[in-house]
């Protein structure tokens, strides 16, 4: 399962569906909100806003180019290092004298021409101010080819691979009037490439316009401010940036003394700070000289619209809407501060490796711990992945994607949970199927709730074993048809099975007319010996009622009836218990010498004429069962003697004469033993008649044997 998930995860990672990119962007946004970029009050970047207050004072947009020329003049006189306009001047100024003259009715055109005289064109005035100071104008690239060339004012040098294939190609361009573009020191595009949710997270420094590379407005502002004439684009396989022959795109752009690291497409991830409108200077303050001239000294000044009606608003991870010119500002501040977000080419590989490690950790933990611990491990892994991403972002400006490792871990955890849940359900079904007919429902509930408590492979543990068999079954079977015999066996084994199960026992097997059961497996039972003894006594009691029923049935069928008698042997000791059998068929069963002893005790009941024989080991575990010692027996295969006990349904406390008899019998005091035995045969319960008959026979055989040659142990093998 781990390998399957790993392959699927690697495949999804390789395909990179859009949903992963969208979720990754949301994670990066969360980083930005947790730790936004610090303000840089000393950065030499200033913004002049064409804001609502300026529109109120100076009139609606577009303003006269004469006004724009005056604005440029004042900023230039204040010592601006570069003045960049985030505004397109694509059409002639309609308020310029020549435009007014052309638009006037023919009847009034001559009079208007005399009134205007040699008034200078507003566009010419603006062009003159552009030419006088270090200025940059805007251009806008688009997808519709229109045959217009980008007014490139800078050169490009390339180190390494050709960067053009990695740059977005936009074949159309809208520019300011050629006279204005020619007068400016630089022209840069003002395009953004927002993500699908229209949030700006990365900004392109370079785009491609057909066969030419075009710089952004911010990049041109830097070049003009530094007085540089050329950009150096460093791509893969350039000196110092070997990609070992792989073509991985752009690495960095050098402008003046600055080197700007980029992604393969020439874009820069922005680490945003919250927008503060108070940091900008309204345009009207510049025009009426109500500003501090020193604040523009040596600064790059960006002029752009902030009034909502001018439609130059953008969404960022921190702000739903900020003026587009502020994006240029934050980009320039980041470049000058050298505070770049890093998303290197090897980042996806690291993220894939972490995802695989998370899957391995969960795979190791899943079979070893319960659901709650595994859930805690899963949440801890996810928290660690996110914490790692936050720490890397805050400490190293590293953009680590936590989404894919998190999703990989969660999907694997869900799959593992489903798998283990199904396996547990199958296991529970197997347990119910395997034990449903052999143990009590309460035991099944415990096993299904805690299957780990069941060792199905086999284990050695102490059991109390009960064997019950019908005496003279062959003679009984001869009187019945097959159908009658089947009904008889079922009527016998069913109530016996119920008694075993009600006392918490496990039915091992049915052997024709016999039943084998045990206690203390599959679950622990501290009182297993007492349970076995109690079940034996209940079976004896139940047999009396069954005999009454069977007698009635025999009389109704017109066949003779003979009381059904049984023998029960109970022993306690270590056995091997578990799934025993072949690979094709097995049962939950117990084997071992102690099982054989229980069977021999059951067989020995015939020699004593008793219904029940219980070993000393069982009696020691059931001290309050009211058992009476029956004999010392040397069982087949054992050298030592086994002390056995019995009980009858009607017995009370043991007759003192019985204890005295056993003592005299075993010590070879034969005359005393015979006298006590005669008394017991007269006064004791009829259920002990066979036992005392056995002793009488053994006393007769003892004759006048010397006590030193007498052990008092019954050996069934020697008659």
Distance CA 118, CA 126 (A): 17
User: What pLDDT score does 585 carry?
Assistant: 57
User: Rg of the chain over CA atoms, in angstroms?
Assistant: 51
Arithmetic mean of pLDDT, 647-666:
84
Residue 301: Cβ-neighbour burial (10 angstroms; 0-12, 13-18, 19+):
buried
User: What pLDDT score does 114 carry?
Assistant: 56
User: What pLDDT score does 351 carry?
Assistant: 83
Residue 47: Cβ-neighbour burial (10 angstroms; 0-12, 13-18, 19+):
buried
Arithmetic mean of pLDDT, 419-431:
70
pLDDT band at 109 (very low <50, low <70, confident <90, very high): low
Q: At what angle do helices 18-34 and 371-396 cross, to 10 degrees?
A: 70
Q: Which residue has the higher pLDDT, 505 or 449?
A: 505
Arithmetic mean of pLDDT, 508-529:
91
Express each pLDDT in 4-19 by its tens digit: 655 555 665 555 667 7
Distance CA 686, CA 261 (A): 107
Arithmetic mean of pLDDT, 67-73:
95
Q: What is the mean pLDDT of the chain?
A: 86
Q: Which residue has the higher pLDDT, 496 or 438?
A: 496
The percent of residues in the chain predicted with pLDDT above 70, rounded, is: 87
State the CB neighbour count (10 A cutoff) for residue 558.
Answer: 6
Planar angle of CA 260, 262, 267, nearest 5 degrees: 115
* Lowest mean pLDDT across 30-34, 162-166, 191-195: 191-195
Arithmetic mean of pLDDT, 274-298:
89
Q: Would you give the distance in Å from CA 190 to the centre of its chain?
A: 45
Arithmetic mean of pLDDT, 409-434:
72
Residue 361: Cβ-neighbour burial (10 angstroms; 0-12, 13-18, 19+):
middle
Express each pLDDT in 202-219 by its tens digit: 999 999 999 999 999 999
User: What pLDDT score does 715 carry?
Assistant: 87
SS3 state at 390:
helix
Express each pLDDT in 302-317 by its tens digit: 999 998 888 788 999 9
Q: Can you read off the two tokens belonging to residue 690? A: 């066979």
116: pLDDT strictly greater than 60:
no
Cβ–Cβ under 8 Å, residues 597 and 575: no
SS3 state at 236:
coil
455: pLDDT strictly greater than 60:
no
Residue 486: Cβ-neighbour burial (10 angstroms; 0-12, 13-18, 19+):
exposed
* Lowest mean pLDDT across 77-86, 440-449, 683-692: 440-449
81: pLDDT strictly greater than 80:
yes
pTM over 0.75: no
Q: Can you read off the two tokens belonging to residue 199? A: 């949030």
Q: At what angle do helices 122-132 and 65-77 cross, to 10 degrees?
A: 20
State the CB neighbour count (10 A cutoff) for residue 97.
Answer: 18
Measured between alpha carbons, how far is residue 194 from residues 5, 185, 321 in Å?
33, 28, 13
Fold for domain 444-653? Alpha-Beta Plaits (3.30.70)
Q: What is the DSSP string of 606-671?
A: HHHT-SEEEEHHHHHH-TTS--EEEEEE--TT-SS-EEEEE--TT--SPPHHHHHHHHHHHTT-HH
Arithmetic mean of pLDDT, 442-463:
67
Start-end of H helices in 78-159? 97-103, 106-116, 122-132
User: What pLDDT score does 623 carry?
Assistant: 77
Express each pLDDT in 237-253 by its tens digit: 765 544 434 557 899 99
Q: Which residues are registered as beta bridge partners of 643?
A: 632
Please name which of 644, 656, 639 lies closest in space to residue 691, comparing C-alpha atoms. 644
Express each pLDDT in 316-365 by its tens digit: 999 988 999 999 999 999 999 988 888 877 788 888 888 888 888 888 88
| CB burial string 72-94: b at 16+ within 10 A, e below | bbbbbebebbbbbbbbbbeebbe
User: What pLDDT score does 242 carry?
Assistant: 45
Express each pLDDT in 34-56 by its tens digit: 999 888 878 899 999 999 999 99
Q: Can you read off the two tokens belonging to residue 80? A: 């601006």
């Amino acid at each position: 399962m781990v390998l399957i998930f790993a392959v699927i995860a690697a495949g999804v990672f390789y395909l990179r569906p859009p949903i992963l990119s969208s979720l990754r962007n949301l994670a990066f946004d969360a980083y930005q909100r947790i730790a936004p970029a610090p303000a840089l009050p000393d950065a030499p970047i200033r913004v002049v806003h064409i804001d609502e207050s300026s529109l109120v004072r100076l009139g609606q947009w577009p303003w006269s180019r004469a006004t724009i020329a005056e604005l440029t003049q004042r900023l230039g006189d204040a010592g601006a290092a570069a003045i960049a306009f985030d505004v397109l001047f694509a059409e002639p100024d309609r308020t310029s004298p020549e435009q007014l003259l052309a638009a006037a009715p023919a009847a009034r055109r001559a009079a208007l021409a005399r009134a205007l005289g040699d008034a200078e064109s507003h566009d010419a005035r603006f062009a003159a101010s552009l030419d006088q100071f270090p200025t940059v104008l805007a251009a806008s690239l688009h997808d519709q080819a229109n045959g217009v060339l980008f007014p490139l004012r800078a050169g490009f040098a390339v180190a390494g691979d050709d960067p053009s294939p990695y740059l977005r190609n936009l074949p159309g361009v809208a520019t300011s009037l050629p006279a204005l573009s020619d007068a400016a020191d630089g022209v840069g595009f003002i395009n953004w490439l927002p993500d699908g949710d229209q949030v700006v997270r990365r900004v392109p420094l370079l785009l491609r316009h057909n066969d030419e590379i075009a710089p952004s407005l911010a990049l041109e502002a830097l070049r003009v401010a530094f007085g540089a004439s050329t950009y150096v684009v460093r791509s893969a396989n350039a000196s110092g940036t070997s990609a070992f022959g792989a073509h991985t795109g752009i690495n960095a752009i050098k402008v003046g003394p600055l080197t700007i690291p980029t992604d393969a497409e020439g874009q820069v991830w922005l680490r945003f700070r919250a927008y503060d409108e108070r940091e900008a200077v309204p345009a009207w303050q510049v025009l009426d000289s109500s500003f501090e001239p020193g604040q523009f000294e040596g600064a790059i000044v960006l002029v752009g619209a902030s009034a909502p009606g001018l439609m130059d608003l953008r969404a960022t991870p921190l702000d739903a809407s900020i003026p587009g010119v502020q994006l240029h500002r934050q980009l320039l501040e980041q470049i000058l501060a050298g505070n770049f977000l890093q998303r290197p080419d090897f980042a996806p590989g690291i993220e894939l490796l972490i995802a695989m490690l998370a899957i391995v950790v969960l795979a190791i933990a899943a079979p070893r711990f319960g659901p709650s611990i595994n859930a805690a491990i899963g949440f801890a892994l996810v928290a660690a992945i996110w914490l790692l991403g936050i720490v890397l972002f805050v400490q190293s400006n590293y953009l680590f994607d936590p989404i894919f490792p998190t999703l990989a871990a969660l999907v694997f955890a869900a799959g593992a949970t489903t798998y283990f849940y199904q396996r547990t359900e199958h296991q529970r079904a197997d347990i119910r199927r395997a034990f449903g007919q052999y143990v009590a429902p309460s035991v099944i509930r415990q096993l299904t709730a805690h299957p780990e408590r069941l060792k199905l492979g086999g284990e050695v543990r102490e059991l109390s074993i009960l064997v019950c068999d019908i005496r003279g079954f062959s003679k009984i079977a001869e009187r019945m048809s097959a159908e009658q015999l089947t009904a008889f066996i079922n009527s016998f084994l069913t109530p016996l099975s119920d008694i075993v199960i009600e006392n918490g026992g496990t039915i091992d097997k049915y052997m024709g007319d016999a039943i084998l059961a045990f206690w203390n497996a599959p679950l622990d039972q501290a009182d297993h010996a007492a349970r076995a003894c109690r079940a034996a006594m209940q079976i004896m009691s139940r047999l009396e009622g069954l005999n009454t029923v069977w007698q009635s049935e025999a009389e109704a069928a017109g066949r003779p009836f003979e009381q059904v008698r049984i023998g029960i042997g109970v022993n306690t000791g270590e056995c091997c218990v578990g799934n025993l059998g072949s690979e094709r068929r097995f049962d939950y069963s117990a084997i071992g010498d102690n099982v054989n002893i229980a069977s021999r005790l059951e067989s020995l009941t015939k020699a004593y004429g008793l219904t029940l024989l219980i070993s000393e080991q069982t009696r020691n575990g059931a001290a309050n069962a009211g058992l009476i010692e029956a004999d010392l027996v040397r069982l087949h295969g054992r050298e030592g003697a086994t002390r056995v006990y019995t009980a009858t349904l009607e017995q009370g406390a043991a007759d003192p004469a019985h204890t005295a008899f056993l003592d005299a019998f075993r010590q070879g005091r034969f005359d005393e033993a015979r006298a006590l035995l005669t008394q017991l045969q007269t006064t004791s319960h009829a259920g002990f008649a066979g036992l005392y008959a056995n002793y009488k026979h053994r006393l007769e055989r003892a004759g006048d044997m010397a006590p030193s040659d007498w052990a008092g142990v019954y050996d069934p093998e020697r008659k």
